[in-house]
Chain A
């Protein structure tokens, strides 16, 4: 498989994860779209360095986090967005849905905001946990020890619980 078709396969399989990771750093959909595009370009560039030492999902998650975390200028532009604007921005593109779907959508938006409000020391760990990564995979993706991941996960869950209250 050549580089382009590998990138396509990766984006097909993990595009949604990349977008969710970008949303955990940025509030505005336009900036998220930019971050997702930059992650795609970074993946294309990094493809030759992928040796299969870790799973492709771990590799992609690490690059997606790194692209987002190193975007200080975009963060500076976005940091003054009021939370209510961000929430309506996030929901703006979604189609009207039946009540139960609207409820699901609201709960998801709340979860997204709660994750985004986590300190940076906990956010990537929590994001990958929500993506279904095991503690070992999170440790590998973020170059942390398994113990450290465990501690951060516990603190992250406590933070989330506090933020979300009885959402779940």
Chain B
């Protein structure tokens, strides 16, 4: 058998497979889209709810004349939400790019994720210390002036729990990003033909 016949034989052998169930695939696409919309709706309701609560507390005078506090929190809430959406958009918009460009973009994003994970890991103890300072030190004219003891204790517990969770999350995310980075680098090398 000559090379051309071998090639044809391999092609027919390769292509001799059944098609997947298209109805199942269409259903899975519909379900994924529905999940995306549900998540978006829940997040929108959460963010808008937080803004409304902040407005109500302000009207009730909970923050006294410290208007920068609810405004600052609202800006942070909206900013975090916008950033989350941008982050979660993932690589799908680049899926029609050249494979090597996609891999390089994926590498860049993973590096950014790694930086973020390190920020979570190291930044949260600083936030915890700041929380402690706000809650217990600046009693007279600082942020916590006028807050009662139970409020300060609640603040301390909340900040500590949040910090602990963020440290755990940051540590796991760091490890995952490092593993991903090794795999992506290997794929880039392999794709460019530099494999050993």
A120 and B13 form a contact (CB under 8 A): no
Which segment of B49-57, B61-69, B70-78, B88-96 sits at the interface? B88-96
Q: Interface residue tally of chain B, by bracket?
A: 35 or more
Which residue of chain A lies nearest to B192 when distances are taken between CB atoms in the complex? A121
Using a CB-CB cutoff of 8 Å, which residues 146-196 of chain B contact chain A? Answer: 176, 179-180, 183-184, 187, 190-193, 195
Q: Which of A15, A45, A72, A132 contacts B22 (CB 8 A)?
A: A15
B29 touching A44 by the CB < 8 A rule?
Answer: yes
Q: Which residues 29-47 of B have a CB within 8 angstroms of A?
A: 29, 32-33
CB pair B99–A16 under 8 Å, yes or no, is: no
- The distance from the CB of A34 to the nearest CB of chain B, in whole angstroms, is 9
Cβ-defined contact, A37 with B28, below 8 A? yes
Given A111-B14, A143-B101, A168-B1, verify A16-B20 contact (CB < 8 Å).
Answer: yes
CA distance A8 to B95 in the complex (A): 19
A131 to B99, alpha carbons, bound, how many Å? 18
B96 touching A130, Cβ below 8 Å: no
Which residues does chain B contribute within 8 Å of A15, judged by CB atoms? 19-20, 22, 25
Q: Is chain B's interface secondary structure helix, strand, loop, or mixed overall?
A: helix
Contact A65:B99 (CB < 8 A) given known A37-B28, A120-B195, A130-B10:
yes
Is A66 within 8 A of B25, CB to CB? Answer: no
Known contacts A73-B180, A143-B101, A16 near B17 by CB under 8 Å: yes
Q: Is A102 an interface residue (CB 8 A)?
A: no
Interface SS of chain A: helix
**Pair A37/B29 contact, Cβ less than 8 Å:** yes
Q: Does A63 contact B19, Cβ atoms closer than 8 Å?
A: no
A30 proximal to B (CB < 8 A):
no
Residues of A at the B interface (CB closer than 8 Å) are 4, 7-8, 11-12, 15-16, 18-20, 33, 36-37, 40-42, 44-46, 49-50, 59, 62-63, 65-67, 69-70, 72-73, 75-76, 104, 107-108, 111, 115, 119-121, 124, 129-132, 142-143, 152, 157, 160, 168
